[in-house]
Structure 1
């Protein structure tokens, strides 16, 4: 079974602005895929549709074989909580919380008891190479380390698919390479990873590349 399917998906915003045109795409289990294109190409719109943050104006979006259009907003929220992890260019870490506490907050909304949340957060941070930074707060971490915390937070609920939106955009070359190494490792462990990027060098380095231009898949 495919993990993500877009079937002739289009998105039109108020005023008649069409950001995505008739997109058909299938992503299988464990794939590492780059969705590449310049600013305004429709990457963010496609991310929002694949990640169930928005609904298509036309066509269908399926996740693990389920048509997202048939689900209520409450069910969609549950899908995002259990099946999907998001990593963004901005880290969105809470300044007064430690790395472990930042990661554990993801599980708070899933009803995991406090002890279980902290244990899972420690495991997730060790998975991204930050086992020695558990009690550090964001201002005590480098940019690359903060992005690793953000990845650990996305992974702590063990999602089936991880969406990474410009994950290296705010990082220097060395830190960015470290983040790409983590994404490769997750891919090798069986997580489906979709990287949204305008960086053609990054896209070329991944096993599969999908290009967007002016809202159309090339």
Structure 2
């Protein structure tokens, strides 16, 4: 198996009206790496997230995720790849209102082929891992912003992903809650998961092992943190 969890070669994403989300991007991220994709609004970060997360397809170039050539996969195969190998954490949590933390996490496993009892067992274990064992029955309106984001991380953890994509994971949080989320992401990385954080926060990016900088849809810099 290739050491790369993400391999983009000459990837372009064009939209109607001659607008480019990505322009000839080549990027490789190894299994277990901890990487920030940084840049201002409109730089191509969100398009990059969608391409890496198989939520969108490239207009040209080659995209390989976890050893799979995305262009060769049917939509059903892409859905299976996302469900089983990729975890997502978003800035605004995307939790179902009126649904307990336990069921929000367990429902994230609906398309993995895991039975209901195992989904709930894995959900409870994931919530315990992020420090929310005492919040299993709480609904989103009963939780703080930090607790909501930890629930979202637990939902990703329950999939046991090879790759975690975090889109501005601290953007909606105060500094204390944000630090707790960062520590969870670092812990996940130490356990062997590749963690890619999409952010405009240079301070957060500087704490990660590698920074890939975007501007106007192009990858303009790619550097590793010096000790």
Whole-Å Cα distance in 2 between the matches of residues 117 and 176 of structure 1? Answer: 27
Whole-Å Cα distance in 2 between the matches of residues 109 and 23 of structure 1? Answer: 31
1:81-119: CA deviation from partner (whole Å, max 9, x where unpaired):
111111111111112111111100012222322221111
Task: Give the alignment partner of residue 47 of structure 1, picking from 46, 49, 63.
Answer: 49
In the alignment, is the contact (CA less than 8 A) between 2:86 and 2:165 conserved in 1? Answer: yes
Give the TM-score normalised by the residue count of structure 1.
0.98
Whole-Å Cα distance in 1 between the matches of residues 115 and 72 of structure 2? Answer: 31
SS at match of 1:15: helix
Task: Give the alignment partner of residue 85 of structure 1, picking from 62, 87, 92.
Answer: 87
SS at match of 2:213: strand
Whole-Å Cα distance in 2 between the matches of residues 83 and 109 of structure 1? Answer: 12
Q: Match of 2:37?
A: 35
Give the TM-score normalised by the residue count of structure 2.
0.94
SS at match of 1:194: strand
Q: Match of 1:170?
A: 172
**Alignment RMSD, CA only?**
0.9
Tell me which stretches of 4 or more aligned residues in structure 1 moved more than 4 Å: none
| Unpaired stretches in structure 1, ≥5 consecutive residues | none
TM-superposed CA distance for 1:68, in Å, is 0.6
Map 1:55-134; keep pairs closer than 5 Å. Answer: 55-134=57-136
Paired residue total = 218
| Unpaired stretches in structure 2, ≥5 consecutive residues | 221-227
Task: Give the alignment partner of residue 183 of structure 1, picking from 182, 185, 190.
Answer: 185
SS at match of 2:112: coil
